[in-house]
DNA sequence: ATGAAAGCGCTAACAT
DNA sequence: ATGTTAGCGCTTTCAT
């Protein structure tokens, strides 16, 4: 299918092509790159030779000359990959088109290792660096006055002049709230992650603001805890105790939502008939495995990655673009857990 | 902490260092690389200049000369990252030490895209390629007679002469079976993924062989289905129907095990008192979120990655190593779901 | 229309 | 002990 030209192990240089076509190296180069003027016949001959020999220009040599490498570094501390992978895929979408390749580095959350990787990337002359993380928290930048542009995706540098692309946690919370209100719920509880997480606070604020605007308050306290199913189970019990008439729960993550769903079911509350449930993350194995399947907020991680890459490309191209934070709107994925009763 | 030397945006070449140290380029090179003999004082002077200017040798130039790039490609079709990320981390462990950087490419399961990426990697003169996948299934190789060595990790090429590193599915099944027998279970059921998956068949075989050797048979039929929680729920019901006295279930994945756990609980069977449960994958968010936390088979994905990288390094170094399949032993992670009653 | 030559940043012979 | 030179594979003037 891929044609008959078998690649041989020996590397073919432009010298070989030129020799095979009976022209000088310079001419071969021009023919291959479509530069300069030359007889059509000559160009054909060179191209044919190149094809026949399986010639691939050596990007190291090209880059050396052009002063470019057409590579960027992607540094992540999200070993587990849940969040950084979609970001990376998005980045690849945007970079791949431009023939830019990505060096992947996982810091294992170790600052020493991170420093080390950044050094290595710079030594390799990457043209830019994308830094991604597990959650949208502030983190120290990877270095000041680096010789290449840096974009933080799904994480934020403490240095305000750095460029960060983050999800709209607050908007996501608001989206969930409006959806629940629209489906007729009014006694809405909230079980979420640790209060020290900016993301948890923002999601809670998004919910709170929408409820306030509707003249409502959250059912029970806003329950900050852990990002785990176990906490979801506990939180649901606390919530049922504080607000027995609760008719909806917005959860700070899909894992928490699963825990909540389980407790609700065990306490005899039907989801969604008695209590509607909205998660956060749209982590499919979790959200689809939940019973019933979970309506949840999707942070559009892929888009975050795409945007980060585009910002980086602009910066590499020398366009200012301006520092600061870009917030990517979240979306709501509708499933059974909030179906109208 | 990292010293006061601020990096400036301008790239520093060895020429600059030589000039600053008042020596020739050649001497500067020798000083920096510790080759050749020279006065200690001169070497010091060059190193000091290099440090002061923030000099980093350009690996493109070095590579061009050495005919090496110190890079490898990592091609994955596991967009979601569940399996390929640990493999990648392991590979990084092994490669990073050798100053080899990794180009990451995600094929999105698209052969065209894969072909494209492989082309690009070869054009970049990677010195080797690691191919990883979602499950241990056979797949067509990425190409024949490629100019660099290729290692398949967590997936297997249909071409038997290719090098593949795969998990020990059969051994994992056997491990689970022996553990269940050791804790006094004898009526052991099996709910797993689709029969068309080699991995599912191997796991079932591992279980079956151990049971046979003990003079036992699986409880009920071996239930092949989907890799989903939903199927776990259904499968458990079928199993309870076929073998009401079942006292343990070995599941083909942690997701399936969660479904099984849920149905068991709803049918009034306590886990682990009445029925012990073993999963497969050690996917922590799933296994730990399960109630009770899941005993499960760990495929040692990281080790698979490490081994794949080491094979690749050997091959790059020109050591034969021999083709064929290497199987990495699995381990059993003990948690509540098989605690002795 | 084509070729020759310089040079990207670096290293390794070979001078001195 | 240090400097000079050639050359890795390629592109790009500048001659011819």
Which of B85, B110, B226, B286 to substitute to test the interface with A, most A CBs within 10 Å? B85
Q: Which nucleotides of C are covered by protein (CB under 7 A)?
A: 1-5, 7-14
* Residue A341: Cβ within 10 Å count: 12
A226 falls within a domain: yes
Q: What percent of chain B has pLDDT over 90?
A: 72
Q: Based on the fold, state whether residues B216 and B271 are members of the same structural domain.
A: yes
Q: How far apart are the C-alpha atoms of A207 and A204, rounded to whole Å?
A: 5
Q: Which residue is nearest to nucleotide C9 (CA to C1')?
A: B61
Q: Based on the fold, state whether residues A126 and A38 are members of the same structural domain.
A: no
Lowest-confidence pick of A111-125, A171-185, B313-327: B313-327
Q: Based on the fold, state whether residues B115 and B105 are members of the same structural domain.
A: yes
A337 falls within a domain: no
Q: What is the pLDDT of residues B195-245, one digit of tens each?
A: 999 999 999 999 999 999 999 999 999 999 999 999 999 999 999 999 999
CA dihedral (B256, B257, B259, B263) in degrees, to 10, reads 140
Smallest CA–C1' separation from A39, nucleotide: C1
Q: In this structure, are strands B324-328 and A248-251 parallel, antiparallel, or unpaired?
A: unpaired
Q: Based on the fold, state whether residues A188 and A246 are members of the same structural domain.
A: yes
CATH, residue B44: 1.10.260.40
B62 falls within a domain: no
Q: Based on the fold, state whether residues A94 and A212 are members of the same structural domain.
A: no
Q: Based on the fold, state whether residues B178 and B226 are members of the same structural domain.
A: yes
Q: What is the pLDDT of residue B208?
A: 98
Q: What percent of chain B has pLDDT over 70?
A: 96
Task: Judge: A106–B89 Cβ closer than 8 Å, yes or no.
Answer: yes
Q: Based on the fold, state whether residues A325 and A259 are members of the same structural domain.
A: no
Task: Judge: A103–B104 Cβ closer than 8 Å, yes or no.
Answer: yes
For residue B82, is pLDDT > 90?
no
Q: What is the pLDDT of residues A2-28, one digit of tens each?
A: 333 333 346 789 999 999 999 999 999
B199 falls within a domain: yes
Q: Based on the fold, state whether residues B218 and B316 are members of the same structural domain.
A: no
How many domains does one find in chain B? 3
A338 falls within a domain: no
Task: Judge: B103–A103 Cβ closer than 8 Å, yes or no.
Answer: yes
Q: What is the pLDDT of residue B97?
A: 76
Task: Judge: A289–B259 Cβ closer than 8 Å, yes or no.
Answer: yes
The rounded mean pLDDT for chain A is 91
In chain B the beta strands, taken as DSSP E runs, fall at 71-76, 101-106, 129-132, 138-139, 150-153, 156-157, 163-167, 188-192, 222-224, 248-251, 276-280, 295-298, 324-328, 331-333
Question: Which domain does A225 fall in, by range?
Answer: 169-298
Selection from A199, A200, A204, A196 nearest residue A221 by Cα: A204
Q: Based on the fold, state whether residues B203 and B241 are members of the same structural domain.
A: yes
First vs last C-alpha separation in chain B: 55
Name every chain B residue with its beta carbon within 8 A of the beta carbon of A85.
79-81, 85
Q: What is the pLDDT of residue B59?
A: 85
What residues are paired with A157 via a beta bridge?
A: A139
Q: How far apart are the C-alpha atoms of B325 and B340, rounded to whole Å?
A: 37
CATH, residue B126: 3.40.50.2300
Q: What is the pLDDT of residues A32-62, one digit of tens each?
A: 988 878 888 999 999 999 999 988 898 889 8
pLDDT band at B10 (very low <50, low <70, confident <90, very high): low
Query: Which residue's entry shows tokens 């090209």?
Result: A62
A341 falls within a domain: no
Q: What does the pLDDT average to over A144-166?
A: 93
pLDDT band at B341 (very low <50, low <70, confident <90, very high): low
Q: What is the pLDDT of residue B60?
A: 86
Q: What is the pLDDT of residue A39?
A: 87
Q: Based on the fold, state whether residues A306 and A159 are members of the same structural domain.
A: yes
For residue B1, is pLDDT > 50?
no
pTM of the model: 0.91
A215 falls within a domain: yes
Q: Based on the fold, state whether residues B262 and B251 are members of the same structural domain.
A: yes
A339 falls within a domain: no
pLDDT band at A341 (very low <50, low <70, confident <90, very high): low
Q: Based on the fold, state whether residues B174 and B290 are members of the same structural domain.
A: yes
Q: What is the pLDDT of residues A69-96, one digit of tens each?
A: 999 999 998 876 788 889 989 998 899 8
């Amino acid at each position: 299918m891929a044609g008959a030209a078998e690649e041989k192990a020996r590397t073919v240089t432009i010298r070989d092509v030129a020799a095979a076509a009976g022209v000088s190296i310079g001419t071969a180069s021009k023919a291959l790159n479509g530069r300069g003027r030359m007889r059509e016949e000559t160009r054909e001959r060179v191209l044919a030779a190149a094809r026949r020999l399986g010639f691939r220009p050596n990007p190291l040599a090209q880059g050396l000359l052009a002063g470019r490498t057409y590579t960027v570094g992607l540094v992540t501390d999200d070993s587990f990959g849940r969040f950084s992978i979609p970001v990376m895929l998005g980045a690849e979408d945007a970079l791949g088109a431009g023939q830019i390749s990505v060096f992947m580095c996982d810091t294992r959350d170790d600052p020493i290792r991170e420093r080390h990787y950044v050094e290595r990337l710079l030594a390799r002359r990457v043209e830019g660096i994308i830094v991604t993380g597990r959650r949208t928290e502030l983190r120290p930048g990877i270095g000041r006055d680096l010789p290449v542009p840096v974009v933080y995706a799904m994480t934020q540098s403490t240095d305000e002049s750095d460029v960060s692309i983050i999800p709209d946690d607050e908007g996501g919370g608001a989206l969930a709230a409006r959806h629940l209100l629209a489906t007729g719920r009014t006694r809405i509880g909230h079980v979420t992650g640790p209060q020290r997480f900016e993301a948890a606070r923002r999601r809670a604020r998004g919910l709170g603001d929408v409820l306030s605007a509707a003249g409502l308050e959250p059912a029970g306290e806003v329950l900050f805890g852990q990002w785990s199913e176990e906490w979801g189970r506990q939180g649901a019990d606390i919530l049922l105790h504080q607000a027995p008439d609760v008719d909806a729960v917005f959860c700070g993550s899909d894992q928490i939502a699963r825990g909540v769903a389980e407790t609700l079911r065990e306490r005899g509350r039907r989801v969604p008939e008695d209590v509607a449930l909205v998660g956060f993350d749209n982590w499919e194995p979790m959200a689809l495995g939940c019973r019933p399947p979970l309506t949840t907020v999707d942070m559009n991680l892929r888009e975050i990655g795409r945007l980060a890459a585009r910002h980086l490309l602009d910066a590499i191209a020398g366009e200012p673009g301006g520092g600061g934070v870009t917030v990517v709107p979240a979306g709501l994925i509708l499933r059974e857990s909030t179906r109208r009763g």
